[in-house]
Amino acid sequence: MSRASDRAYNLIRSMILSGELQPGSQIREEALAELCGVSRTPVRDSLRRLEAEMFVRRNDSKRSFVAAWSLDDLEDAFHLRAMLESHAAKRAATRITRDQLARMRFQNAQLKQAVDAIHPDVPRFIDHNRQFHAILLKAAASERLTSMLSQVTEQPVVLRTARQYDLENLRRSHHEHEELLIAFENRDGDWAAAVMTAHIRRAFHAYAEAHSSDTEIGKSSLAA
């Protein structure tokens, strides 16, 4: 893929993840080409790549839209993530190095600082949470698993889930990370897998609750 296509892909993907391009909104190639400083061909290449990654969907008339996920879609994505990331945790438990374990402890300590701030720093929480899980995945030492997980953990829903967390959920996430670290210290793959499964399932229910609340608010607005 050309540099122009990579540049367009990274910018469009970033706009989707940040919420600048909202779920369900139409993607206009001309406007994006101008914004990215490229021709329409790299934008089309980028949209095909984003469609394969389920960030973008096309309708019967070939128009592109930012993917809008139903609750069933979301549950399926979270279920797949739980299966894959629990397997990653099980592999990591018997392969993780002292350096990787130390770096995971550091990331979780930074995450705790973000949670314990007078006003919880959610962007900082998200950043250190991402790095914690990235080190875990590296420790699992499976390129195939890394590729598969990238399809279900980098969706916009992941970012929105963390933003919907209340203080209790933020603290639970930190404590679940602590339990994972203890499982890794004991080289117990089954324990690590069980903690990770619960960690991801709780994330789904936090998102589902927020999704339901947003749906009710939308209905109320329409009825008003």
CATH number at residue 107: 1.20.120.530
Q: What is the dihedral of CA 79, 108, 119, 122, to 10 degrees?
A: -40
Say if CB 50 and CB 165 are below 8 A apart.
Answer: no
pLDDT per residue as tens digits for the range 68-118: 777 787 788 889 999 999 999 999 999 999 999 999 999 999 999 999 999
Nearest to 103 by CA among 137, 150, 142: 137
Q: Are strands 64-66 and 56-58 parallel, antiparallel or unpaired?
A: antiparallel
Q: Could you list the residue range(s) of the whole structural domain that residue 38 is in? A: 3-66
Same domain, 84 and 188: yes
Greatest Cα-to-Cα distance within the chain, rounded to the nearest angstrom: 58
Indicate if 9 and 105 belong to the same structural domain: no
166-220: pLDDT as tens digits: 888 889 999 999 999 999 999 999 999 999 999 999 988 887 776 665 544 344 3
CATH classification of the domain holding 31? 1.10.10.10
Tell which residue, 198, 187, 177, 188, has the closest CA to residue 103.
177
Question: Considering 37, 66, 95, which residue would you say is the last residue of a domain?
Answer: 66
Q: In terms of domains, do 101 and 187 share one?
A: yes
pLDDT-derived band at 51, boundaries 50, 70, 90: confident
